[in-house]
Amino acid sequence: MHLYIHIPFCKQACHYCDFHFSTSLKQKATLVEALCREIELQKDYLPTRHLETIYLGGGTPSLLNEAELQLIFETIHRFYTVAPDAEITLEANPDDLVGPADDPLAPLRLFRQYVNRLSIGIQSFHEPNLRLMNRAHSASEAEKCVQLAREAGFDNLTIDLIYGIPAETHGVWEADLAKALSFGIPHISAYCLTIEPGTVFGNWQKKGRMQAADDEFAADQFTILVRTLVANGYEQYEISNFARPGWEARHNSSYWKRRPYLGIGPSAHSFNHHSRQYNVANNAQYVRAIEKGEIPGTVEELSKADQVNEYILTGIRTKWGCDVRELTALAGTDFEALRRTELQNLYNRGWLSLRNHRLTLTEAGKLFADRVASELFIS
């Protein structure tokens, strides 16, 4: 079983981000108490109370102080058993990981008491790109925090990078990858910049102040990403995720493999095979409901088509692909017969292959993952 906890606070808003968060930290302690209360209220949501992974995401979980971390983990251990080898991840921003000059390891020593994996939101090592995105850290902090994390005993590290940032050449992206590789990090996640409505970038785009990179530019950067990381010993086990052997993210893989998980906090999602639950994306409403002993979420019962389509959407992006036998079981009918024409078209285009009962994307197909998934959806 898998537990996700959403920490909906950030120091400042990144210009590309459309996740749920608040830049006001006044209610942080109150909300952490509500998170702990929800853990208790939801203790029987999962089929068992034994956790294999815990993931603190956000927002910016590295804004949590020692008392808040202690309260969260004491609550988890009160209601769950945690596997001795559990993967416990904390998302962090570089500026939160670098301590004062007289004790630069102080924040990392604190986090090391509670988690064994760090996911660091670096996004770029290029100062102008960081300023463009309104990141809170500097390029020097991006480099320093990785070095310090190693010193603090974090072997299980991943960093996030963003590509597809409009530019004249691919030089900055190639330099970002070279810098990441120089640290020997075992896991790298890389995402194409998407300009979402309601974000600063979205508003700039409406005003003609900014344009997204064209598809060909973004595709070329994706190709550079894959070629560079594979050549350096990483496996692309999901479209955006690359790992050295044995360092795949166990928590995120549970989503892609349809494992049950519980999401705690405002905007968090939960899944138990048969239904999906969505918590309200509003901190004040969330706290008020929890204080009343209510779960502030909407439950959606999943139809056969929903379950098939969700499995396709997530599974097709991974190296494991989608097992057609599982698709048939979920659909209640022969999936290959049901989508014979669509499957044959995708085989003919060279985007999809079938081997050992598993549908997987080809290298060419990885550029069209969402399109492939949508063509396989059932109704």
Question: Which pLDDT does position 24 carry in this prediction?
Answer: 87
The residues near 279 (Cβ < 8 Å, ≥ 6 apart) are 6, 263, 265, 266, 267, 268, 269, 286, 295, 296, 297
Domain with CATH 1.10.10.920 in the chain: 304-376
Place of tokens 């549908």: 359
Question: Which pLDDT does position 158 carry in this prediction?
Answer: 98
Angle between helix 304-315 and helix 369-376 axes, rounded to 10 deg: 160
Question: Which pLDDT does position 20 carry in this prediction?
Answer: 87
CATH 3.80.30.20 assigned to 2-257: yes
Q: How far apart are alpha carbons 267 and 273 in whole angstroms?
A: 19
Q: Is the bond preceding residue 198 a cis peptide, omega within 30 degrees?
A: no
Q: How far apart are alpha carbons 158 and 8 in whole angstroms?
A: 21
Question: Which pLDDT does position 21 carry in this prediction?
Answer: 87
Question: Which pLDDT does position 111 carry in this prediction?
Answer: 98
Domain with CATH 3.80.30.20 in the chain: 2-257
Locate all alpha helices (DSSP H) within the chain, ordered by sequence.
28-41, 66-79, 94-97, 106-112, 127-133, 139-151, 171-182, 200-206, 215-231, 250-256, 283-291, 304-315, 324-331, 335-338, 340-349, 369-376
Query: Can you give the pTM of this predicted structure?
Result: 0.95
Question: Which pLDDT does position 19 carry in this prediction?
Answer: 85
Question: Which pLDDT does position 23 carry in this prediction?
Answer: 87
CATH 1.10.10.920 assigned to 304-376: yes
First CA to last CA across the chain, in angstroms? 29
Question: Which pLDDT does position 310 carry in this prediction?
Answer: 95
Question: Which pLDDT does position 320 carry in this prediction?
Answer: 96
**Are residues 281 and 260 in contact, defined by beta-carbon separation less than 8 angstroms?**
no
* Residue ranges in the chain modelled with pLDDT below 70: none
Q: How far apart are alpha carbons 104 and 32 in whole angstroms?
A: 26
What are 138's two structure tokens?
Answer: 């500097």
- DSSP class of residue 58 equals E
